Structure formats: C-alpha cells, structure tokens
Amino acid sequence: MLQSQVGYSEQGGGYTKFGDWYGNNVEFDSDYSAQPWCDMFLSWAAHKLGYQKWFGEFAYTVDHAKWFISHDAWGTTPKPGAVVFFDWGGSGVVDNIDHVGLVTSVDGSTMHTIEGNVDGAYVREKVRDQSSVVGYGYPDKIKTKMAAEGSLSGTASITLPGALALPHAPSITLAAAESALPAAGVPQQPDLGAGALVIPLLIAVLLLIAYIKVKHTSVRQALVAAVLDRRRDHSRRLANRVSSGR
C-alpha cells in the first residue's frame, strides 16, 4: 500500500488526499486537507489495510508516539514494520518529534523507510541513520497484545492476510464434538446432577404442609364437636331440672 504511493506529491495549496481523508474520517475539528501530512499518510495506509486498531490514526506525530508509549510498544531498536519518529534537531525528546516514517528494512546502522511529506512534499523511499531518531513504535507488539487479550476473554480469532485479527464465536473441534455424542448402540442416561433432587424435595415439603393442615383441621373439628356436645348435655340437664321443679 505504501509502496504504491511513492512519488505522490501535494497538489495546489498543499492539498493531499491523505489530509482530506483524515479530516473526513478521523478528526472533524479542522480542515486537514492542506496540513503537514507525514503521519496522516501512514494513518491513511493503515486504515486501507485494516491495521488502524494496532497502528493508530494520528495527524500529530507527538501524540502518535505517546500512544505507542502508553501501549508499552515503544523502543529504540529499528526493525521492519516499526514506525520511526524523528526530531531533526537531534534532541531525542518525544515532545520535539516533527516527522515520522515506516521502517521497511534495516541494514546495519542504517534503515530504509517510506515517508510522506519529504523532499518538497513527496512520498519517498529514504535511507536514514539513527542520528535524528527519537524512538520507534511497534504496531506488531500491540497486535500481539490485542490477540492475547482476545483469547483471555474467551473469544477466538482468525488472521486475515494483511488485516486485523477479528473476534468471532469460538469454534468446536471435531474431537470435542465427538466426545459430546453417545457411543453407537449404547443408551446414555442423562446426567441430571443435583438439580434432579429439587423437585422431589419440594413435593415432600408440600405434602408435609398439606398433612399438617389436614391434621390441624381434624383437631379443630374434634374440639368444636366436643364443645357442642358439652353444651347440648348441659342444656338437657337444665331442662330436666326445670321439669322436675328442682
């Protein structure tokens, strides 16, 4: 993707398709179409390839470097695929970074890069030494970390050529599927577990409650009947006394 853009240059008024894309897709607070575009060029390419989640999308090189630092993906060793940050003043200070490129290969103490907004506002392949380098951001380190976090959260991932590993539903292996099936001709008893004891226990409790209620009702009825019998016996005695004049 980057290689295909070698030779691209600014148009009238400093316009670039990279800045135009950035202002319409990443940040909307300003017109970026004619702004310094070395980092927007890399961000545009990363987005086209689907790398943006581990590469980052930035216009300001200092913020991009700090993003790599915050992801623990920052170092001083050049390697292919690393994002190289320059300070032409040679201070080595992150806040003084003023240019960025992508390392394509390393040859001893020199490296080959592709950079935007160089040599009179072109995309060029360059050969650089380490004298003006502040540090390197490692997108592959962030990608590896993201993949590990995806596996820890219980999601599987697939790797597409030149694209970010995307989460998807975990697959079931053939061996796992076979182990879940009963052997041919052998009836399998369902494993009900502890849950199978709940229903009989509830039934027993309900029967006990019903028995207690019936028993309680029978006792009450017996007591009421005894009281009524006593009252009737007492009434008969009073009637006998009255009739006998006693």
- Ranges of beta strands (E only) in 87-228 are 99-107, 110-118, 122-128, 133-137, 156-158, 166-168
Counting residues of the chain whose pLDDT is more than 70, the rounded percentage is 66
Would you place residue 201 in the very low, low, confident or very high pLDDT band (cuts 50, 70, 90)?
confident
Nearest-CA neighbor of 123 among 105, 102, 144, 153?
102
Query: pLDDT tens, 6-15?
Result: 999 999 999 9
- Global pTM value: 0.62
In the prediction, which pLDDT does 127 show? 98
Higher pLDDT, 41 or 225: 41
Chain mean position to CA 222: 71
Higher pLDDT, 223 or 21: 21
99-107: strand order across its sheet: 74-75, 133-137, 83-86, 99-107, 110-118, 122-128
Query: pLDDT tens, 83-141?
Result: 999 999 999 999 999 999 999 999 999 999 999 999 999 999 999 999 999 999 999 99
In the prediction, which pLDDT does 182 show? 43
Query: pLDDT tens, 20-61?
Result: 999 999 999 999 999 999 999 999 999 999 999 999 999 999
Chain mean position to CA 246: 101
Whether the predicted pLDDT of 219 surpasses 50: yes
In the numeric block, which tokens belong to residue 81? 């695929």
Residue type (1 letter), 197: L
In the prediction, which pLDDT does 145 show? 95
Give 11's Cβ-side CA count (13 Å radius).
Answer: 7
